[in-house]
Amino acid sequence: MQAAGAGLFVLGQQELWAQNQTQTVLTGSQFDLQIGEAAFNFTGNRRIGTVMNGQIPGPLLRWREGDTVTLRVANRLAARSSIHWHGMIVPADMDGVPGLSFAGIPSGGEYQYRFKVNQAGTYWYHAHSRFQEQTGLYGPIVIERRGGERFPTERDYVVMLSDWTDLDPERIFAVLKKHSDYYNFGRRTAGDFFADVRKNGLGPTLADRRMWGEMRMNPTDMLDVSGYAYTYLMNGVTPTGNWTGLFSRGEKVRLRFINGSSMSFFDVRIPGLKLTVVATDGVDVEPVSVDEFRIGAAETYDVIVEPKDDRAYTIFAQAMDRSGYARGTLAPSPGMVAEVPALDPRPLLTMSDMGHGGHGSAAPAGQVDHSQMNHGAQAQGAVDHAAMGHESATAIDHAAMGHGASTAVDHAAMGHGTSTAVDHAAMGHGSSTTVEHPATERTPLLDMQVDQPRVGLDDPGVGLRNNGRRVLTYADLRTIGGPIDRREPGREIQLHLTGHMERFVWSFNGQKFSDAKPLKFQLGERLRITLVNDSMMTHPIHLHGMWSEVEDASGNFQVRKHTVNVQPGQKLSYAVTADAPGRWAYHCHLLYHMEAGMMREVHVEPGEGVAGRGGHGDHS
């Protein structure tokens, strides 16, 4: 009888133990990969997973910067599939998004990806077809830097975090559409009410509960899918399985953290060890020493640790809502374990997280100006979901989702303008400023708007503030070598991250993907994208094919990333050089948010006096 969490998987007639298995590593420039299915048991229940070469995660692919790689991907599923090389700067037809850059890999078919590797660092790959990523189709990539690592170490491990569910993802999505807080088992109770009365008094407590009730929101709703539905994995191993990486005392150990989850943020620490962050999203940064960092879905962080003692250390990655954790161990010999920390207290969103006041504490419950939050849309009448295109949770064919002939975007109407001179003050760099909302946003498809968002990069986020540990923020990250392109952006595109929690509708500027026109970039231009989060969720936003160069509140270059976390009520900007011709995906990397509409198509097309891609070199 197999114990829960033992991780058995079955492939054909062969049975292998998934826990603590030695990860398959594929190296060179020619790769044969096969997408298929296999049975797994992570929880005591046998379930079918989607696999690459029979594994969850798929094999570690090791490439060398400057090589041209060929990857022949065969699809043995009954459904169409795809592989996206996340964060890789590749031609559009190698990017792997069905309906945009290619048609997808048909059942029984094969697709050959071939491109030159012009970058180094830690990346990953995953399916871009409906919910195949959620069922296991993902894996790590490590690219050896030309000339060797800038920060060499004696040991080097990938630590891939993910969220496994025994449930059918289509069922999860359907449940979220009907009851968006169904998986939130951390909601406040009567006991919490009386505790708040003792702490804050009856009046403020009643006002606080009334305020959240009027907004039809819940301050504990930080992750749409919680540990109730998920088992959190580290390199495909459950917490009871205890993935282990070995070291010798005094060695430097590089840990390449990859968040390959579908819907989860993790807060990572190793009690007893300082974490020296040396790279994010594959790009080297000036080293910074911290105790803890938050990693959003699709982000990567490289950290170096130096164990001084011959003892075990726990790698602890707790979900942002504290509903569960992934766990592994660094140890001098196999079988050693260290104490696993208790989960931190469940955090609560405050009014400051919703765009009011400073980021350290909530505004007094009885003194919140609701008029500035624009919650009017949620009070409107019932929405006809059929009219909104939500009839069913059937598989999405991206080619049928409005990706046909491109149409021009009216940038003036969207506030994008075309001026070459950029006024940083007008863009809101430097302090919290009032923003304008596009007309499309004022619909029943959203339940809140933030007129005066928070700016700045120094907030670690809800649940991490003032916790007694040194927590990483984007303000700590500085890319070595500066920006790719030192030109000042010639124009700005402002996009609002919008949604309706109860109806589980997500969008940019109040328009679902199926209703929105493509964004137009001119080939070779330098532009600024400003994101305003008009929701109470943190969104990891990913632009395919181009780097996102995050700016500080004054408009100065800070850090280069491929996935950018935007906190509730936050305004954040990054510069983009549109040097990649073609059609690209731009979306929230929370999988169910993307499928619910938070996605846009970007067209990069030739314009006047512009040049194509080239000359970026190392970038790291």
Give tens-digit pLDDT for 8-21: 333 332 333 344 45
Residue 416 falls inside a structural domain: no
Do residues 604 and 475 share a domain?
yes
Residue written as token pair 């919140």: 368
Main-chain dihedrals φ then ψ at residue 490, nearest 5 degrees: -90, -20
How far is Cα 267 from Cα 80, in angstroms, rounded to an integer?
34
CATH of the domain at 555: 2.60.40.420
Mean confidence (pLDDT) of the chain: 83
What was the pLDDT predicted at 334?
A: 95
The pLDDT-based confidence of 314 (bands split at 50, 70, 90) is very high
What number is the average pLDDT over the span 344-362?
61
448 and 570 assigned to the same domain: yes
Span 395-406, pLDDT tens digits = 333 333 333 333
CA distance 581 to 603: 8
Share of residues in the chain with pLDDT > 90 (%): 69
Q: What is the largest CA-CA distance in the chain?
A: 69
Rounded to whole angstroms, the Cα distance separating 587 from 589 reads: 6
Is 481 found in the same domain as 553?
A: yes
Confidence of residue 432 (pLDDT cuts 50, 70, 90): very low
Is 592 a residue whose pLDDT tops 80? yes
> Is the per-residue pLDDT at 412 higher than 60?
no
- Residue 209 confidence (pLDDT): 53
Pair 101, 112 in one domain: yes
Q: What is the pLDDT of residues 461-520, one digit of tens each?
A: 999 999 999 999 999 999 999 999 999 999 999 999 999 988 999 999 999 999 999 999
What SS3 state is found at 346?
coil
**pLDDT tens figures, 208-236:** 556 545 555 566 668 999 999 999 999 99
User: Residues 580, 604: contact at Cβ < 8 Å?
Assistant: yes
pLDDT of 149 above 80: yes
Higher-pLDDT residue of 199 and 166 is 166
Inform me whether the pLDDT recorded for 430 exceeds 50: no
Interval 193-208 mean pLDDT:
61
* Digit-coded pLDDT (tens) for 73-126: 999 999 999 999 999 999 999 999 999 989 999 999 999 999 999 999 999 999
Phi, psi of 105 (to 5 degrees): -100, 115
Given pLDDT bands bounded at 50, 70 and 90, which one contains residue 347? confident
Indicate if the pLDDT at residue 322 is higher than 80: yes
Mean of pLDDT values over 255-267: 98
Within a domain: residue 168?
Answer: yes
* Averaged pLDDT for residues 49-68: 98
Are residue 177 and residue 123 in the same domain, yes or no? no
Q: Please tell me whether residues 458 and 604 are part of one structural domain.
A: yes
Q: What is the DSSP letter of 98?
A: B
Give domain status of residue 374, yes or no: no
pLDDT of residue 544: 98
Give kind and range of the element (H or E) at residue 196: helix 190-200
Same structural domain, 89 and 231: no
pLDDT at residue 438, as a whole number: 85
Cα–Cα distance for residue pair 491/422, rounded to 1 Å: 7
* Res. 2 pLDDT band, cuts 50 70 90: very low
Residues 527 and 597 in one domain: yes
Instruction: Give pLDDT, residue 387.
Output: 33
Tokens of 259: 């968040």
Examine the domain organization and report whether 162 and 311 are in the same domain.
yes
**pLDDT for the residue numbered 218:** 62
Mean pLDDT of 422-436: 49
User: Which band of pLDDT confidence, cut at 50, 70 and 90, is reported for residue 249?
Assistant: very high
Domain count, the chain: 3
d(CA 620, CA 599): 28
Residue 191, pLDDT score: 54
Domain-located, residue 308: yes
The rounded distance, in Å, linking the Cα atoms of 460 and 526 is: 29
Domain containing 283: what range? 151-184+220-348
- Clarify whether residues 137 and 157 are in a common domain: no
Whether the predicted pLDDT of 193 surpasses 60:
no
Average pLDDT over residues 320-344: 97
Does the residue 16 lie in any domain?
yes
Q: How many Å apart are CA 575 and CA 525, to the nearest integer?
A: 10
